[in-house]
Amino acid sequence: MPNCYNCKTELTESNKSKEHIILNALGGRLKSSDLLCIKCNSDMGSSCDGVLAKQFALISAILDISRERKEIPIIKGGKLKDGTEVNLLNGNTPRLANPKLESRKIEGGVEYKIVARDEKEMQQLLSSIKKNHPLFDIDKAMDSAKNKKSSLKQPITYQQVFGGVEAFRSIAKTAINYYIYRKGNPENIVELIPFLLGKNEMDIVKHFHPNKSIYKKESNEVIHLIHLVGNKHSKTLYCYIEFFSSHSYLVTLSLDYNGPNISHTYAYDLLNNKEVTRVVQLKLKRDFLINLNTSFDDFPIVQEKMNRLLKIAHQRQLQKEQNRIIENASNEIFATKYKNEKVISEIMMHEFIDKVATEIAYLWHGERVQTFGDMIDNN
């Protein structure tokens, strides 16, 4: 039986814990029960994992990657040009973050303009108005409210900072977990344990974007990749980590490495949900590891990788929406309206095509924003 690499307790059926080597929130699937005991697992960084997960939440959502926990979290923090806050549901549906209630005095009363996101919310807002205006007729106002689904013809802006101490701690944990998973000797990383536990800060994780990709990328792939190198002669142990084929980091695990030469690679294809083989060319000198700093010169490289990623995400979203439209139309026309017909007639086919064409045209105009009603009250 292996031991917990932190407290050295022997791992048994009753105290072992399953640890995702790459966060499951990021779509990571590789896991091991041979790393940490339950207690150490919980001491190590659920908060830092949360920070890292949040940094990649938008990318995970728009790529619609699968993970063990199925639901796609709501992504907050989107902004329209005028500052209106927007949330993103299901990775593709923008929705106002808050309802809008505006009022202004007019002759003989107050005019309210309400944009609510659903019927229930509209009811609540109208009830709050009724408190100030007892004669106000909620039912009448509800009747006059329009349920409007409109396409969003402007981009949503997100701001996301990548990196920082907590995120780096989580990334270091991925590197260390992988090292132990590949049967590395825990003695070589023992100095990093306080850092993992959040007891000190260490400068061992850097943004790292080599000018040339260190492995051959397939044209439309999105992968997570871990590449671990131990070099006996230069006494270095380091780990290259790349998330979503776009954000890459270098973790210096030891400059006093005392083990054999090792080189291990793990790669996971996120769009096809399978482990893949990638041959990585990366040999870093000891001096390079010591002197590496994050450089702003890397920015165009990161931007290019992000653009590539967004393009792939967009294609996937379009595909997903088109499938949904076809499925809906088919359900509505063939499985519901004409469910008793044995043969598909020309009329049925036309209705189906019409339905699909209308929705697809709508789709290509832009994304959707769901609002419930604009209404005016003269009370």
Binding track, positions 156-195, relative to Zn ion; x by CB under 5 A: ----------------------------------------
Burial label for 97, CB within 10 Å (0-12, 13-18, 19+), is middle
Cβ proximity of 90 and 349 under 8 Å: no
Q: Which of 37, 72, 126, 172 binds Zn ion (CB under 5 A)?
A: 37
Total residues interacting with Zn ion, rule: CB under 5 A: 5
How far apart CA 52 and CA 270 sit, in angstroms, is 17
Q: In whole angstroms, how close is the CB of 179 to Zn ion at the nearest point?
A: 17
Q: With respect to Zn ion, which residue has the nearer C-beta, 7 or 276?
A: 7
Burial label for 237, CB within 10 Å (0-12, 13-18, 19+), is buried
How far apart CA 189 and CA 6 sit, in angstroms, is 10
Q: With respect to Zn ion, which residue has the nearer C-beta, 35 or 313?
A: 35
How far apart CA 329 and CA 145 sit, in angstroms, is 28
Q: In whole angstroms, how close is the CB of 270 to Zn ion at the nearest point?
A: 30
Using the contact rule CB under 5 A, the part of the chain among 6-14, 189-197, 206-214, 251-259 near Zn ion is 6-14
Contacting Zn ion within 220-249 (CB under 5 A) = none
Q: With respect to Zn ion, which residue has the nearer C-beta, 36 or 156?
A: 36
Contact partners, residue 262, CB within 8 Å, separation at least 6:
182, 184, 228, 229, 230
Number of residues that this document lists for the chain: 379
Q: With respect to Zn ion, which residue has the nearer C-beta, 4 or 241?
A: 4
Q: With respect to Zn ion, which residue has the nearer C-beta, 2 or 73?
A: 2
Q: With respect to Zn ion, which residue has the nearer C-beta, 191 or 304?
A: 191
Q: Is 40 in the site for Zn ion (CB under 5 A)?
A: yes
Q: In whole angstroms, how close is the CB of 202 to Zn ion at the nearest point?
A: 20
Q: In whole angstroms, how close is the CB of 196 to Zn ion at the nearest point?
A: 12
Contacting Zn ion within 298-357 (CB under 5 A) = none
Q: With respect to Zn ion, which residue has the nearer C-beta, 44 or 48?
A: 44
Binding track, positions 7-26, relative to Zn ion; x by CB under 5 A: x-------------------
Dig out the tokens for 294 from the structure. 């994050």
Using the contact rule CB under 5 A, the part of the chain among 36-44, 221-229, 244-252, 288-296 near Zn ion is 36-44
* Contacting residues toward Zn ion, per CB under 5 A: 4, 6-7, 37, 40
